Amino acid sequence: MTSKERILNTLERKPVDRAPADIWMTGEVFNKLADHFGTAEEKEIYRKLGVDKIYWLSAPYTEIKPSKENPDEDEIFNEWGACYKPKAYEDGEYLENSYYPLKAMETVEEVENYNWPDPDKFDFQALASSWLNHKDEATMLSFVSLFETYTSLRSFDEALMDLYINQDFLRAALKKLADIQIEYIKRSLTAAPGIDLVYYSDDMGMQDRQIIPTEVWSEFIEPHAARVIETVHSFGKKVFYHSDGSAFEIVEKLVNLGVDVINPIQYICPGMERDVLKEKLGDRVIFHGAVENQNVLPFGTAEDVKQEVNDCKKILGEGGGYIVAPCHNLQPNTPVENIIALYQAAADV
């Protein structure tokens, strides 16, 4: 059975020879694996690990411009105008928001006049070409996000306050975000109809609770989430939803709306326990992730990692419907031997 067959069969709850395995990792981890295996060829690293990779594809935006005057040399902008700056930490580097183009705005008129991305300026032909390079692998369109993108434009604190004291502004911005991304999905799946999944990310959980109450999410975000899911399903594709942390109530609502895959299964957070998710959602959704990466993967032994993978497969994979993967990106402090142990255990029948 090929990796693509293994993943697609799992998504359809059809028989597989073993549980499929995916990988998420930081650039630093990729470099460690490249050194270990003596190759920087992505597919070769996956082959050596035994990974059934879901490849992320996107249509690049052709006219990204700074959303601020006189940006710093190291500042990076995306098509939305969100601004990021590299931030070093002990083991590597990540991007941190450094400027919020919507933060000083106050009116709906300012939202309407903002320089939103133009769907005509995404390079869908490049997306189609990229898919052709991966037509023998499982593929996922990225990056779709609603409130998460809003916080990157407005700032997290302002975005949370908008839920209560500047609701018209929030509604107008979320509608813009959803409208543009739904058009992006339609054009992407028309240009590259072989893509299998669409990645929708909106982090709704902290380590011990939801970021916002369920009823607030339902009022402002749920209608647009439903539109995204309906659009993806209209093309016969699967919706892959990502939220870190403890957010069971919102995740359950999204599954009720039709989300097909949930990730990352951060089961050490209250309400996200593996047996709870399996019992309450397991007949309606595929699980992706769950191999614990705050404690076991970075600090456990290789045997600890193998036991962790086996536990995840036993709990989440009973009767099918589970893709083995780390609970979010493998971090630079994860030993290579633990990564190898993860995928050795994943391959065991």
CATH of the domain at 30: 3.20.20.210
What's the pLDDT at 47? 97
- Taking only the tens place, the pLDDT of each residue in 223-245 is 999 999 999 999 999 999 999 99
Q: Domain for residue 91, yes or no?
A: no
Q: Domain for residue 248, yes or no?
A: yes
CA–CA distance, 257 with 134 (Å, rounded to integer): 29
- pTM of model > 0.75: yes
Q: Domain for residue 76, yes or no?
A: no
CA–CA distance, 286 with 320 (Å, rounded to integer): 8
> C-alpha dihedral over 244, 247, 251, 254, to 10 degrees?
-100
What's the pLDDT at 37? 98
In the three-class reduction of DSSP (H, G, I as helix; E, B as strand; rest coil), residue 326 is classed as strand
Asked if residue 27 lies in contact with residue 92, where contact means CB atoms within 8 angstroms, the answer is: yes
Under 8 Å CB-to-CB from 215, ≥6 apart: which residues? Answer: none
**Residue position matching structure tokens 């076991």:** 296
Under 8 Å CB-to-CB from 297, ≥6 apart: which residues? Answer: 291, 305, 308, 326, 330, 331, 334, 338, 339, 342
**pLDDT confidence band for 91 (50 / 70 / 90):** confident
Q: What is the mean pLDDT of residues 313-325?
A: 96
Q: Domain for residue 175, yes or no?
A: yes
**Mean pLDDT score of the chain:** 97
What's the number of domains the chain is made of? 1
CA–CA distance, 3 with 51 (Å, rounded to integer): 8
What's the pLDDT at 314? 97
Q: What is the mean pLDDT of residues 67-93?
A: 94
Q: Letter for the amino acid at 146?
A: L
Q: Domain for residue 213, yes or no?
A: yes
Q: Domain for residue 160, yes or no?
A: yes
Q: What is the mean pLDDT of residues 18-46?
A: 97
> Which residue, among 176, 34, 29, has the nearest Cα to 113 in the 3D structure?
176
Task: Quote the tokens at residue 209.
Answer: 């609770």
What's the pLDDT at 349? 79
* DSSP track, 119-173: GGGB-HHHHHHHHHHTTTSEEEEEEE-SHHHHHHHH-HHHHHHHHHH-HHHHHHH
Q: Is the C-alpha dihedral spanning 330, 47, 59, 93 positive or negative? A: positive
What's the pLDDT at 128? 98
- Taking only the tens place, the pLDDT of each residue in 141-188 is 999 999 999 999 999 999 999 999 999 999 999 999 999 999 999 999
DSSP letter at 300?
Answer: S
Q: Domain for residue 74, yes or no?
A: no
Under 8 Å CB-to-CB from 103, ≥6 apart: which residues? Answer: 153, 154, 155, 158
Q: Letter for the amino acid at 265?
A: I
* Portion of the chain with pLDDT greater than 90, in percent: 98
> Which residue, among 46, 200, 39, 238, has the nearest Cα to 136 in the 3D structure?
46
What's the pLDDT at 92? 85
Written in H, E and C, the secondary structure of 76-96 is EECCCCCEEEEEEECCEEEEE
What's the pLDDT at 90? 80
> Which residue, among 87, 79, 11, 22, has the nearest Cα to 50 in the 3D structure?
22
What's the pLDDT at 200? 98
- Taking only the tens place, the pLDDT of each residue in 97-144 is 999 999 999 999 999 999 999 999 999 999 999 999 999 999 999 999
Asked if residue 202 lies in contact with residue 147, where contact means CB atoms within 8 angstroms, the answer is: yes
CA–CA distance, 5 with 100 (Å, rounded to integer): 43
Could you list the residue range(s) of the whole structural domain that residue 270 is in? 3-64+101-347
Decide if pLDDT at 65 tops 90: yes
Q: Domain for residue 143, yes or no?
A: yes
> Which residue, among 64, 96, 58, has the nearest Cα to 81 in the 3D structure?
64
**pLDDT confidence band for 52 (50 / 70 / 90):** very high
